[in-house]
Amino acid sequence: MTVHKIATLEAFLVPPRWLFVRIETDQGAIGWGEASLEGHGEAVLGAMEAVRDRIVGMDASRIEDIWQLLYRLGFYRGGPVLMSAISGVDQALWDIKGRMLGVPVSDLLGGRVRDRMRVYAWVGGDRPHDVAAAALERRQQGFDAVKMNGTEDMAWLDSPASVDAAAERLALVRETGVDVGVDFHGRVHKPMARQLVRALEPLRPLFVEEVLANEQLEAIAQIAGQTSVPLALGERLYSRWQFKPFFEAAAIDIAQPDLSHAGGISECRRIAAMAETYDVAFAPHCPLGPLALASCFQVAAVTLNFVIQEMSIGIHYNRPDADLLTFVRNPEALRVTDGMVAVLEGPGLGVDIDEDAVRSAAIQPHRWRNPVWRGRDGSLREW
């Protein structure tokens, strides 16, 4: 078989907040990946300079060797910026190999264990009835599960009325007939988190995500021992080593690594297998673009403990000119039917990117930043 050496690596900041990676070999094989890191795209773009110096000229088929080289030989390991850069490269290399062989990446990972994958979408709104209306709209789009904020604003010690309001909002959304994941987004603190989980528990949320910031391992484990609600976490963990203490402490029920932050397909496949040994479910985090989502679906197809996939269809992040499907030539591959998306059958990642549209959009790179939230006393709130 002809050796394909990496000839070029390009990265594109495109709206609404994505960072796409394109790798081409000296034989003309092309693969795409996604290294999106919300609010820090420029930092990842800078990290790509060192990545390019390392991998140009290497055999593109040696995916694991390239992953280990980028992870270990930079001396400073891990973190969101470096791991996002590795993630984009890793996805693109798997895409190249799959396209060269004419098979989906899932075939290269051992073959699928399912034919369809359950999905959920985000819902939000300023008032409880707005959130419920958004959930009904998602049902019309084919979803049978959604995710919503547990609370928009909660102080370290807050009024019981704020807990009541969160329960009321969840109750209204549950009345629409969809299953509901509730995201605390790490913005709730221990004095209120236990109260909030207890108040939501009778409403039977599908899961509670980031009940506390992931720095609070011991407190998360305490809450896990006090509730029957499944606890999910992992979007801000970047390797199997960072997941390890959460598994050992029995602190979480659902692992949520992000395939554009946590080392790509290669590392998240390992995290999923590691989770299975602790009887922990796998539900990748992905409020990102089509390449990240397609990568998630490739891993989900071959992962026994996969349970549900996040997807950001119809969300523009304040950029009406772009969303999940903007740069995809085959959007039908991501169609939601009866709450599920069929396994992607196309070669590589299974989505075809409109390269001309990407290059045109990248002429004016996005500068997306997360909003700043403050409480009524003026103090900072977590995003």
Question: How distant, in Å, are the alpha carbons of 82, 127, 138 from that of 144?
Answer: 35, 21, 8
DSSP string, 260-275: TTSSHHHHHHHHHHHH
Going from the first residue of the chain to its last (383 residues), give the mean pLDDT of each consecutive group of 10, the final group possibly shorter. Answer: 93 97 98 97 96 97 98 92 98 98 98 98 88 95 96 86 94 96 93 96 98 96 97 97 98 98 98 98 97 98 98 88 94 97 98 97 91 84 77
Direct distance between the N- and C-terminal alpha carbons of the chain, in angstroms, rounded to an integer = 50
User: Is the distance from CB of 233 to CB of 257 less than 8 angstroms?
Assistant: no
**Which residues, 6 or more positions from 345, have their beta carbon under 8 angstroms from its beta carbon?**
104, 333
Write down the pTM of the prediction: 0.96
Catalytic residues: 185, 285
The candidate with the shortest Cα–Cα distance to 24, out of 44, 52, 50, 49, is 52
Supply the pLDDT for residue 127.
83
CATH homologous superfamily, domain 107-349:
Enolase-like C-terminal domain (3.20.20.120)
User: Is the distance from CB of 142 to CB of 120 less than 8 angstroms?
Assistant: no
Residue 89 phi, psi (nearest 5): -65, -45
**Which residues, 6 or more positions from 148, have their beta carbon under 8 angstroms from its beta carbon?**
122, 123, 124, 131, 135, 169, 170, 173, 180, 181, 182, 183
Supply the pLDDT for residue 152.
77
Peptide bond into 205 cis (omega under 30): no
Give the amino acid at 91: Q
Q: Which long-range contacts (CB under 8 A, 24 or more apart) does 52-55 make?
A: 52/9, 55/6, 55/9, 55/89
